Amino acid sequence: MIHSRRNLVSSQVLAATAASLTVLAAAGASAAEDPQVQRLREQLERQQAVIESQEARLQQQERLLRDLAARIGAPAPATATVSAAPAAGAAVAAGASVAKADAVDQLAVLDADGGPDGGSDPEPARPGPVGTRFAGLDVTLAGALRTTVTTTTARMQPDATPFFVLPKIPGVPDGTTKIDARLSSLLISIKGAQLGDFQLGGMIYAYLFDGDLLSGKYGLYPGFAYIDATSDKWRFAAGLQQDVFSPMIPNMVDRMSAFAGSGNAGNSFKPQLRVERFFVKGSDRLVIQGALADALPSNIKPGFANSTENTGVPNFEGRIAWTRGNDREATLPWPKYVLGVSGATGRFRTLYDRNPDSDVTDIGSYTTTLNGVAVEGSWRLTDRFGVQGEVYSGKALGAYLATAFQTVNSTERTPISSDGYWGEAAYYWTPKLHSHLGYGIDRPDKGDAPGIGANETAFANLFWDPSPMTTLGFEATWRQTALLAGFDPLGRPIYVDNDGFAFMLSSELRF
């Protein structure tokens, strides 16, 4: 659509210029003093100024559409959990990563000159508008059919999209194989009216998951569900969206985990009120984002045995990020440079029974404050090769997929502190064939006696994009989880490492 508008603008420029030059040539050189010719010249200058302004606006809209993929993230297919247990963590991460990468893929099909791999393929056929009962709405339906086959050499949690490695059980086989299609997804993009400088719109994005990833059932799980108003300089949005905090994500076939619980904070999804301000100059782009997010959203299930509730104060999230370079300049579809800093803070209250061994219930409560700060960056070193990653530090960040999904030590009722990081190297062999290699780790403070003392993941993969609508991927991952096994005579926690490999094969057809 943008390209057809740009062609129209270019045609207007050429037509106006040709007509004016014809009049000027007929008038002759001496006609420059003629009032009629002078008026035509002034009219031409005004038309050129208007057309140049329109061209600049269209270019800005095109950049916004390309950046929307990086800004949007994606919906969570699973129920997130805030817990010290490995099972709790599995549900959270699933929601975070798939949504972001998959939503990017859907948008790439809807508005890309090349395929999702950033190649130079012809523009794919766009889905037609879906009829609505309101005039003036442009509704587009898209989605993906995705099947994965995952084989592991150890017991992992969960088996289809592992986040943690569980202890071995004597006499029980370690390996598992899972065939799954719950990562198939549906997207509805709504373009509404133009209100002054603002374009109104919204998005709904859902997976074929039930509400709980660990249940293994099929259903319909909403990820994105928001409305927004966007101009060249501002964006206001309300609804279920990706965290502002620490939004970068690695390129993995296993997009459910994608280093969640292994150094990749953020990328979960919460109802929020968001405002963004854009500053664009040439190929440089600066964005400032802020959000008020639901402290205990319904898609995040506390993992405590006792009740956890909202304190009446939302979470505060903020981010500032600088980007330079056009992602279409290279085979590797990344900007030349990205550097961002983000933070989050909030609190929640937990109720507990002061006398659990008594027949009389005595309810007490304690309030936990969460906070975190993250730095993200990427660098496209050559036309085909680049690196990216994040580092974070904070406490009680289980709801943000950090701290190995843990929040508090439920015995001591103290927040669990942690730091972590992840890094990735990407290489495009061709525009349709690319590989990614990465490593990430969450390192909770063992002095806080967390249930998971460390969780780390390494991966290597290969993607093949035979067309803009199809992707085949293969990935090998190694995971290691340090689980609390007890305490020594001095009361210090003892951890046992459990590790194993997983191999994932994925096929996807987007429409």
With tokens 């609804």, the residue in question is 239
Amino acid at residue number 46? R
**pLDDT band, very low/low/confident/very high, at 119 (cuts 50, 70, 90):** very low
- Residue 35, helix vs strand vs coil: helix
Instruction: Give the dihedral sign, CA 26/30/32/37.
Output: negative
Q: What is the CA radius of gyration of the chain?
A: 26
**pLDDT band, very low/low/confident/very high, at 118 (cuts 50, 70, 90):** very low
Distance separating alpha carbons of residues 483 and 404, to the nearest angstrom: 11
Q: Which residues contact 100 (CB under 8 A, 6 or more apart)?
A: 72, 73, 74, 242, 247, 249, 255, 258, 267
For residues 452 and 482, is the Cβ–Cβ distance under 8 A? Answer: yes
At 246 the pLDDT is 96
- Residue 116, helix vs strand vs coil: coil
At 87 the pLDDT is 33
Predicted TM-score (pTM) of this structure: 0.76
At 136 the pLDDT is 79
Residue that wins the pLDDT comparison between 498 and 33 = 498
Distance separating alpha carbons of residues 108 and 469, to the nearest angstrom: 9
**pLDDT band, very low/low/confident/very high, at 268 (cuts 50, 70, 90):** confident
Q: Taking 80 as the threshold, does the pLDDT of residue 78 lie above it?
A: no
The structural domains of the chain, with segments of one domain joined by +, span 73-510
For residues 338 and 376, is the Cβ–Cβ distance under 8 A? Answer: yes
The DSSP line for 442-475 is EEE-GGG--SEEEEEEEEEEEEEEEETTEEEEEE
| pLDDT tens readout for residues 396-439 | 998 898 999 898 887 888 899 999 999 999 999 999 999 999 99
Element spanning 428, H or E: strand 417-430
Q: Which residues contact 199 (CB under 8 A, 6 or more apart)?
A: 191, 192, 229, 230, 231
With tokens 């929020």, the residue in question is 272
What string of H, E and C letters represents the secondary structure of 124-152? CCCCCEECCCCCCCEEEEEEEEEEEEEEE
| pLDDT tens readout for residues 184-208 | 999 999 999 999 999 999 999 988 8
Averaged confidence pLDDT in the chain: 79
Averaged pLDDT for residues 261-287: 94
Distance separating alpha carbons of residues 365 and 78, to the nearest angstrom: 28
| pLDDT tens readout for residues 13-64 | 444 444 444 444 444 444 445 676 677 777 777 666 656 655 655 555 555 5
| pLDDT tens readout for residues 356-395 | 777 777 788 889 999 999 999 999 999 999 999 999 999 9
At 94 the pLDDT is 36
Burial of 382 by CB count in 10 Å (0-12 exposed, 13-18 middle, 19+ buried)? exposed
- Residue 495, helix vs strand vs coil: strand
Distance separating alpha carbons of residues 298 and 305, to the nearest angstrom: 17
- Packing angle, helices 35-72 and 2-27, rounded to 10: 170
Q: Shortest CA distance to 379 belongs to which of 428, 339, 349?
A: 339
With tokens 């100024």, the residue in question is 49
At 211 the pLDDT is 66
For residues 2 and 63, is the Cβ–Cβ distance under 8 A? Answer: no
**Core vs surface per residue 119-135: b (16+ CB within 10 A) or e:** bebeebeebeeeeeeee
Distance separating alpha carbons of residues 444 and 394, to the nearest angstrom: 10
Thinking of the domain 73-510, which architecture would CATH place it in? Answer: Beta Barrel (2.40)
CA–chain centroid gap for 435, Å, is 20
**Core vs surface per residue 238-255: b (16+ CB within 10 A) or e:** ebbbbbbbbbbbbbbbbb
